[in-house]
Amino acid sequence: MAFNNANAVRTRMDAKVLTSMAMLTALTYLAMLLSNVLPKVSGFLQMEIKGTVVAIGGFLFGPLSAAVISVVVAVIELFTVGETGPIGCIMNCLAACSFACPAAFIYKRIHTRKGAVIGLTAGVASLIVTMLLWNYLITPLYIPGITRAKVAEMLPTVFFPFNLAKGGLNMALTLILYKPVVTALRRAKLVPDSHSPQNESGSKVGFLLFSLVLLATFVVLVLVLAEII
């Protein structure tokens, strides 16, 4: 009887995780669509905020879940609104995974606000390094007239600040939105209490102010890169 009860509890938990994952995948796709209203950099680099939802999913359920959400949304985008074909799909997967997976990996081991900041900072660094490499390798294949030598010239002046701005923007949004999202999912009984961040001493107001200043900084950087201000 105890074995059957354990199986029933496990089944209910698995169903809740799948439901939460499906919701986060849908929200990631919606964030991708909303990103289309954000400014482009150099006419072809689209600023995106979907990494925020992917990172929240990774914080909740681990780096593998972040990777799954990233791949599923990239494939759906490919067959719905994508304009860059399979190469764009690969780049979308790489960008989302390189940001969210390291962040989730570190946060699962340092389950505090400090761990979240460290993890997301590592995610931004990983995003920058990964995308500089892959932009150098891939960009000449799908943008006519841009040679690899031209891409090399753009790495420090275009691709680096773009990925820094994108990563920083998603980092700030994740820090601000993670707690409200977790609280909503917990109230809906889709996430157990053990998935919520540990209570910490210190000022929550200070952490919020830090997150808002970070957000403002990268919003301004995005606007500067897009030559809006």
- Rounded CA separation 77/49 (Å): 14
Asked if 121 contacts 108 with a C-beta cutoff of 8 angstroms, the reply is no
Q: Give the pLDDT confidence score for residue 6 in this predicted structure.
A: 47
The stretch 33-41 carries a mean pLDDT of 87
Q: What is the pLDDT of residues 160-204, one digit of tens each?
A: 999 999 999 999 999 999 999 988 888 887 777 654 444 555 568
> In this model, does residue 9 exceed pLDDT 50?
no
- Rounded CA separation 179/22 (Å): 19
Length of the chain: 229
Q: Give the pLDDT confidence score for residue 146 in this predicted structure.
A: 86
The stretch 82-94 carries a mean pLDDT of 88
Q: What is the pLDDT of residues 106-153, one digit of tens each?
A: 999 999 999 999 999 999 999 999 999 999 998 888 777 888 999 999
Q: Give the pLDDT confidence score for residue 14 in this predicted structure.
A: 72
Going by C-beta distance under 8 Å and a sequence separation of 6 or more, which residues neighbour residue 69? 21, 24, 25, 28, 53, 54, 57, 58, 96
Q: Which of 84, 38, 10, 27 is closest to 218 using CA atoms?
A: 38
The CATH number for 197's domain is 1.10.1760.20
Q: How many domains are there within the chain? A: 1
Least confident of 20-29, 99-108, 183-192, 199-208: 199-208
Q: What is the pLDDT of residues 63-86, one digit of tens each?
A: 999 999 999 999 999 999 878 789
The domain of 150 spans: 2-225
Q: What is the 3-state secondary structure (H, E, C) of 103-144?
A: HHHHHHHCCCHHHHHHHHHHHHHHHHHHHHHHHHHHHHHHCC
Helix (H) or strand (E) holding 46: strand 45-46
DSSP code, position 40: E
